[in-house]
Amino acid sequence: MSCFLYIYNTFRIEKLDTDEIKRDKSKMQIIFALLIYIIPLVVGKFQGSAIDQAMRLIGVRNDNATVQFDNDYQLFIEEITKTKDKKMYSVKILFQGLGSSNVLEYENIRLVVPSTSYRMAYENKH
């Protein structure tokens, strides 16, 4: 807040300012007002990828995971995804690690799955 007040006071037009200084300060006020609206739009474009990267780094998100569901949950998955006799699924893990449920995505179908109902195969990267 103090940064905003400093900038605002810097560009405040005063009675003793010359006409040229008043014009310059007026231009800077307009630019400052536009930046207040433009910066959130620009940051919003990059924010999603920054959040995704952070979630991958801490292990909350995984875009290429192979999972095998428990027998109890296998029938439910087959019914939802319209697949039969498939043991391993290539999924995106959108959210895991907190609580007892995880969010998985398989072929654009999002599933909230109990964390105890599946096992994940980790790829060994060298």
- Domain map of the chain by residue range? 2-56, 59-121
* Fold (CATH) for 59-121: SH3 type barrels. (2.30.30)
Range of weakest confidence among 29-33, 36-40, 54-58, 73-77? 54-58
φ/ψ (deg, to 5) at 91? -130, 165
The token duo for 1 is 């807040």
Is it the case that residue 17 has pLDDT exceeding 70?
A: yes
What b/e sequence results for 87-119 when a residue is b if at least 16 CB atoms lie within 10 Å of its CB, and e otherwise?
eebebebbebeeeeebebebeeeebebeeebbe
pLDDT digits (tens, 9 = 90+) for 23-51: 887 888 888 888 887 877 777 666 666 66
